[in-house]
Every structure is written in structure tokens, then in C-alpha cells.
Chains A and B, each alone.
Chain A
């Protein structure tokens, strides 16, 4: 099902192509269900776009495209980390969503958040999977040189968890956790913010009463086994993997701490978005398309993700994190259908929460006038979501 370009002034075939791609993208966005879309096209014929144009600003998008299609990237280097949050990227690559948006994506696995941050900053990567607070931290110059970022879409919602060592199975009340050590994946992560918020709610000061250590997810499991840490707040499928390895149990899902919270973002440098607006738009649309596809493919998704080149984990572990029917490590099978979600949009309330935590836990102390500036910059960074 393809819509021909219906502008009359196209002189160049590549512009023509781009228009038709964009129109189809817009159509897909307006009518996500393929059956509805086909029926709509059959009914409306060539006037389909004209009708949609009354609902959406198509002309400005075409104008933006016309001025930039001459500059096209041959190959986009895009990075992901092998965690469940990367599912939309992996699905987009594997099911050819990127190529249907005329994007030539070289999807590369990376080993740490700091590395991804530096490679985006130095333009080794064009776009990357990032922890939700990272693009804002980078744009504010927190923990790294200041690089203005722009987020194309959020990657996922919920899907994280607090895992505690099986050694503490009889001390499940957080009030008894004074002096405990916890693993977190990165300072500027939802994991850190959610865990701090959770500890504070239970009367523990995250800076004084416990210790938070930055660890890679695999190291979290190894350290939990070695009793070097008492628990961790990590990404899936590593929480479920800790249960599978019989070293920990799932204490609280992030779903039960702040339902609908975002976890990872997908973003580019601001200057990339400005120089290549059509690529940026195509990336955003491709990701949304991929996120819609995910909803219909729960059955074979774990198999796809478990490939060595992607998550490299047992399908059964991934499946439990995805479907929300899982063993909790304490002998119960739990059912939480919303354990993991893949929403592209960031609710304004969630963005406000994120910025508030950043200030609350003192990460913006080094900045002057953050009170007025941070929220504005955050809105800019996450504007496309």
C-alpha cells in the first residue's frame, strides 16, 4: 500500500520520493491500524491526504523537507544497550521499519552508558538509546561537557524493578534496610531517581543511610551473588535474570512505584536534528511505527530479542519481563500485565517529575538559575515526544 506523491511542483525524483515517504508516514501515524488505513485509502482515493491535511500540518512538513532532502546521510550509526528498553530499536531494525522509512541504520551494541554519552557527544554516533534523564543531563552539562540534545521518542514505560538478595527474604520492610548497599546502572537514570524516591518514602536517606553504587547490570547480579550488594534497581531482563539465577527476588516493580514512568529515550544531538530534520522526523516516525508493531507480537518477540546479537538472554527470562507473568523468586507466580510497556510519548507530568527529582537530589546544584531554566530546556529537549 503506497500513496503516490500528489504535489504538482516536484522536479526532483528524490524530493518526490521523500514526499511520498512522508505522506505515507503521516497516513500511518493518523491510522495505525493497517486494515483501517487500507479501507480509508480505498474510500478516499487521492483526496485522502487532503482530508488528513485538514487535521494535521502536512504542508509545513513538506516545506521543511524540500529544503533539506539534498543532504542525506548514507548510513546512520545508532547504538543500543542490550536491555529490554531497546526493543523498539531492535524491532525497527529486524522488521525493516527503518528501511521502509528510507533510513539506512547501522545498529550497534554498546557496553556502557558513559561510552554512549561520549560517543554521541563526539559524533561517533548519530543517534542512540539513552536513559531518560541522560539527554537532559547532557544538555545541562551535568557530569559531562554540555551537549544540547533532542529526543525523538521515548522507548518504553515501566519495566524496571527493585531486586533484593534472597539472603534478605525475611527483611522485606525497607525500614530495616539501614546500611544496605544498592546497585544502580547510572547516576542520571530513572533507576536512581525512583530508588531514591522509594527509600525516602520509607524513611531512609539515600545519601546517608544506604550506599548506591553504579554497576553494569551483569555486575549487579554477580555482586548480589557475592553479597557485595544487598539489592539493585536495574533494567529488564536483568531483574528477572537475578530471579532465574536464584540470587534475588523481585521486591517491587517500578510499575508499582510510579505507574507509566518512562525509562529510556531515543535521541540525537540538537545540531543533527537541525541539519537533518527529515532524518530526525523519519527516525521518530519509524520508532513509533515499531512501537505499534510490538503490541501485536508478544508471542515471538522474546525469541527475536534473545538472539546473541541483541539481548543474548534466555527467551523465557525475556518473556516473563515482557508479558508480566513471572516468577518473583519467593515461590509465587505473579501477573502484572503492565509490567513493561512501549509508549513513545512522555506525559508532561512525567517530565515535570523527572526535572523535579534532578533538582531534589542535588544534581543541578552546580547550575545557576536552574529554577527558571531547567524546565524550559527540558521542554525543548523532549519537545518531539
Chain B
């Protein structure tokens, strides 16, 4: 009883958040290891039955009649995962053949597509958002169109774009642009519409024209909300690229998943999923830092 009390009162609170996280990962790894342990199988004595087991992939090739063999589990084990991940990550920039390039190149191509599509979305959404937010009648005209276009899935845009643009790579960049556009646009409109009256009145007092009002008052006031919109938009873009590349790409991390899926290679898919998650978290962290640096509270 005393020991338990000591444990809960004195030691456990001292373990930091990082260590807790590590412990969680360790528990998952250990469970994973024990659920995917190899089993010992006795090979059949009948040649035809043995051939059947080999052709089914149940026994390794060239197994002798009646031999006892260690057979790996159906689901990928941590050790298998580590081996295939190591193989992929050891040579991430290989590019001898266009149909077999390294995972680093896949990631980089996806990031480039996201960067271009996202930049396009920002360049369209911010000026348009300021315009729609400050001109009330224009907003009324455009609102229904925005509301209809906004919920359309990237997968639904893809055939339309493929048909009109006729280029798979450009289409996927466009899809990213279209899907990242809405959070940025809506956040900008909302923020500009809700610019504090006092700030607008300062501008009016100084007799600012429309352009100066937008650049000196509305845009800076809306900046935190725009950055928040961009952060969401980047998250959406990174989600969309995977789906888009699975449909069209011959390179990109989404295509990598499709290709490994085609091979039903669980280990490589797991690796790609982990990498996508990590890159997504890094992108989000980047925007978090930008928000901290340039965002501020509008009193």
C-alpha cells in the first residue's frame, strides 16, 4: 500500500510528457511484435500437397518434404516493417527508371505540387476575400456560388479538370488550388467583414481611398484570420494531393501508395502513411510558427 502511494504520489508525476509519449509507442511496438510472431509449421509428406502449400505462399520455396519451417505471420511484423522501411529510406533519391524512383523524390514532387497549388490558392483567395468582404453587394452575388462550390470533393473535380485541362499533373495542382481556396477565402471574407469599426473609422478620418483602406487597415486587421485560413487550407491541400495522385500521377507520394497497394505491400504502405502524417504535422507546425510570428490579437 505504501509503495503504491509512493509510486502514484512521487514518481509518476515526475515523468515528463515526452516520456509518456515514448511509453505509448513502446507498448504499441511490443503488442505489434507479439501479435505477428512467426509460427512453426510441419510441411506435408505428400509431394503434391507440398507443392500446393508452396504455390499458396504458405511455405517457402524449396521446402523439403516433412520439414518443420518457421512461417512469418500474415500481417507485417515490426521487424519486416523496419527492413522494408530501411530499404526505401536507404536510397530515397534513386532515379534510374521513371517507373521506380525513390520515396524522397515522390515526397518532393508531392510537396512541389502542394506548394504551387497552395500558392495559387492564396494569390486568388486573399485579394478576392478582401474584395468580397468589403463590398457588400458583390458578396451577396457571390455567396450562393461559393456555398455550392465549396463542399465539392477533390475527387469530383478531378474528371472535370482532366477533361478540360487534359494534363494529369496540371490537373492535380489545380485540384489542390481549388480545395485549399475555400478556407482561406471564407476566413478572409469573415475577417474583413468583422474589422473593428474603430479601425475603419480611423481610415475614414485620414481620408484613405479604397486601395489604401484595403492595404493599410483591412488586410492587416484580417491577417490573423487569413493565416488561420491558410493553415487549414494547407492541411486540406496535403490531404487532397494523396487522393489526386492516386488517380493520376506517375510520381508523387499518393502514387507511391497506389503502387504499393497494387502490390498489396502493407509494410511500404505503412511507411508512406507514417511519412505523410509526419510531413503533414511539419507543415502544420510551420504555419503555427508563422501564425505566432505575424499573427496578433485585434483588440
Task: Name A243's contact: one of B56, B166, B167 (CB within 8 Å).
Answer: B56
Please tell me if B80 contacts chain A, counting CB pairs below 8 Å.
no
| B258 in contact with A327 (CB, 8 Å) | no
Q: With the chains together, A127 CA to B58 CA distance in Å? A: 40
Known A-B contacts A82-B262, A309-B100, A310-B99; A333 and B250 likewise in contact (beta carbons under 8 Å)? no
Complex: A118 Cα to B208 Cα, angstroms: 53
Q: Are B99 and A115 in contact (CB under 8 A)?
A: no
Contact present for B166 and A326 (CB under 8 Å): no
B26-56 CB contacts (< 8 Å) to partner A = 48, 51-52, 54-56
Interface status of A124 (Cβ within 8 A of chain B): yes
Contact A309 B48 (CB under 8 A): no
B105 at the binding interface (Cβ < 8 Å) = no
In the docked arrangement, what's the CA distance between A122 and B56, Å? 43
* Contact A109/B250 with A312-B259, A333-B52 known, Cβ cut-off 8 Å: yes
**With A118-B166, A122-B166 as given contacts, are A327 and B55 in contact (CB-CB < 8 Å)?**
yes
* Chain A interface extent, by class: 35 or more
Given the complex, which residues of A lie within 8 Å of B250, measured CB to CB?
A: 108-111
CB of B93 within 8 Å of the partner chain: no
Contact status B246-A327, CB under 8 Å: no
Chain A residues, CB < 8 A from B98: 106, 108
Write the A174-218 contact mask toward B (1 if CB under 8 angstroms, else 0).
000000000000000000000000000000000000000000111
B255 near A111: Cβ-Cβ < 8 Å: yes
In the complex, the answer to whether B99 meets A316 with C-beta atoms within 8 Å is: no
A57 within 8 Å of B (CB atoms) = no
Main secondary structure of the interface of B (DSSP, over half): helix
Please give, as numbers and ranges, the residues of chain B lying within 8 Å of A244 by CB-CB distance. Answer: 56-57
Instruction: For the complex, give the distance between the alpha carbons of A195 and B244 in Å.
Output: 31
CB of A112 within 8 A of chain B?
yes
C-alpha spacing A354/B156, complex, angstroms = 32
Bound form: Cα–Cα A221–B264 in Å: 9
Q: Are A245 and B55 in contact, with the CB atoms below 8 A? A: no
Complex Cα distance, B55 from A332, in Å, reads 10
Given contacts A107-B99, A246-B56, A309-B97, contact A333 B51 (CB under 8 A): yes
Contact A111 B56, beta carbon cutoff 8 Å: no
User: What are the residues of chain B within 8 A of A60 when measuring CB–CB?
Assistant: none
**A336 within 8 A of partner (CB):** no
The complex places the Cα of A145 from the Cα of B100 at a distance, in Å, of 32
Distance A325 CA – B264 CA, assembled complex (angstroms): 23
Q: B164-199: which residues lie under 8 A (CB-CB) from chain A?
A: 166-168
Determine whether the beta carbon of A124 is less than 8 Å from that of B167.
yes
Write out the residue numbers on chain B whose beta carbons fall within 8 Å of the beta carbon of A118: 162-163, 166
Chain B interface size, as a band, is 20 to 34
A218 touches B262 (CB 8 A): yes
Known: A244-B57, A331-B52, A333-B55. A217 touches B262 (CB 8 A): yes
Bits for B247-275, please: 1 = Cβ < 8 Å to A, else 0. 11110000100111111110000000000
Judge if A17 is at the interface, Cβ distance under 8 Å. Answer: no
A270 within 8 A of B: no
Among A311-335, those with CB < 8 Å from B are 312-314, 316-317, 320, 325-327, 329, 331-333
Q: Would A111 and B247 be within 8 Å (CB), given that A118-B162, A308-B100 are in contact?
A: yes
A111 to B57 Cα, complex, angstroms: 26
Let me know if A115 and B55 touch, CB within 8 A: no
Contact of B61 with A by CB under 8 A: yes
| A residues near B259, Cβ cutoff 8 Å | 109, 111, 308, 312
CA distance A332 to B46 in the complex (A): 13
- Chain A positions 282 through 320: 1 when the CB is less than 8 Å from some CB of chain B, otherwise 0: 000000000000000000000000011110111011001
Chain B nearest CB: distance from A314 CB in Å? 7
Closest beta carbon of chain A to B33's beta carbon, Å: 23
Q: Is A119 an interface residue (CB 8 A)?
A: yes
Check if A126 is an interface residue, CB within 8 A of chain B. Answer: no
Q: Are B262 and A320 in contact (CB under 8 A)?
A: no
Cα–Cα, bound, A320→B99 (Å): 24
Q: Which residues of B contact A16 (CB under 8 A)?
A: none
Interface pair B166/A307, CB less than 8 Å apart: no
Checking B52, B97, B258, B263 against A111 with a beta-carbon cut-off of 8 angstroms, the contacting residue is B258
Q: List chain A residues, Cβ under 8 A from B51.
A: 333
How far is B250's CA from A331's CA once the two chains are assembled, in angstroms? 39
Please, which residues of chain A bring their CB within 8 A of the CB of B57?
244, 314, 316-317
* Contact (A326, B55) CB under 8 Å given A115-B248, A217-B262: yes
Taking the closest CB of chain A, its distance from the CB of B232, in whole angstroms, is: 29
User: Which A residues contact B (CB, under 8 angstroms)?
Assistant: 82, 106-112, 115, 118-119, 122, 124, 216-218, 221, 241, 243-246, 307-310, 312-314, 316-317, 320, 325-327, 329, 331-333
Interface residues of B, Cβ cutoff 8 Å to A: 48, 51-52, 54-57, 61, 97-100, 162-163, 166-168, 246-250, 255, 258-265
- Please name the 10 residue pairs, one residue from A and one from B, whose CB atoms are nearest each other, closest first: A309-B100, A327-B55, A309-B99, A122-B166, A312-B263, A109-B99, A218-B262, A309-B97, A308-B100, A327-B56
20 A–B contact pairs at CB < 8 A?
A107-B99, A108-B98, A108-B99, A110-B250, A111-B255, A115-B162, A122-B166, A124-B166, A218-B262, A221-B264, A241-B264, A307-B100, A308-B99, A312-B259, A313-B263, A316-B61, A329-B56, A331-B52, A333-B48, A333-B51
